[in-house]
Amino acid sequence: MRKIIVGSRRSKLAMTQSQQFIDKLKEKFPDLDIEIKEIVTKGDKIIDVQLSKVGGKGLFVKEIQQALFDREIDFAIHSLKDVPSVLPDGLTLGCIPPREIPFDAYVANNHVKLADLKPGSIVGTSSLRRGAQILAKYPHLEIKWIRGNIDTRLEKLRTEDFDAIILAAAGLKRMGWGDDIVTEYLREDTMMPAIGQGALGIECRSDDKELLDILNAVHDEEVKTCVTSERTFLSEMDGSCKVPIAGYATKEGNEITFTGLIMSPDGKERYESTKVGTDPVEIGKEVSDELKAQGAYEIIRKLNEEEA
């Protein structure tokens, strides 16, 4: 069997989740010869600017996708929430493995609950989605952007003027942080997750049948169904990191329940819809159609015009 080269971002989290996925693959195929190639993306280079200010889609994947086209790597391991909803021709998501916890983790000094934060308290996040939802429910709080890896952000919480920060729970879990560090896990009624949060997307060339057959051994069809609804909604709404967009799907039996959310960055406008059905693409489109009918696309149009 050929040697397989895997592309990953250089961050500690990216390398850790890549190695965890490779270990799962090797449980199925112990003789696989796999090597990780570190790739620095545009999003990794921009560390002192809020990502929404940079704009665009694929900040963390374009260089990795080019490495696939150039045949420098055979597949890439992405956090699915970083992957644009439309892939370039010739590339495919060959596998969606089991999903880690999809919710956000709220971490506060002295474990003060979110609902108990005093007016003017500062919550750190680099996500418009998180900021908008916090401001909508707790307008007396202040949002301050924060960048860096998990360790850096936890250190900033301890040493700078933050009262709390919000992180993806999946990243904390994958990096081995225990539940004791988390003050609260914010469920979808408080904080709707990002599209695909907690899931990995394994991207490869569409014509690599040998590799696609290997990846299928660790594929989770139920997770794929759920994230298909979410990513269909993202595509239909033309969402990006410049837009406070969120969505979360679950599946029970053959029935999929999907909720999509669009907000203004200040949290004052909110458009939300939930649909139930069996076709993940249709459900994503139905939620998108309803939110457009409500006027949600006007928020996206304005934000995209600002980007241009």
Q: CA–CA separation, 232 vs 284, rounded Å?
A: 5
CB of 112 within 8 A of CB of 101? no
- Give the largest Cα separation in the chain, rounded: 61
The continuous run of DSSP H or E covering 68 comes out as helix 62-69
Q: How far is it, in rounded angstroms, from Cα 237 to Cα 208? A: 31
Find the catalytic residue in 70, 74, 82, 279: 82
Q: What is the SS3 assignment for 200?
A: strand
Q: Are 228 and 251 in contact (CB under 8 A)?
A: no
H/E stretch holding 235 reads: helix 221-236
Nearest CA among 194, 193, 167, 200 for reference residue 181 = 167
**Beta partners for residue 251, in sequence order:** 256
Q: Has 82 been annotated as catalytic?
A: yes
Q: Which residues are catalytic?
A: 82
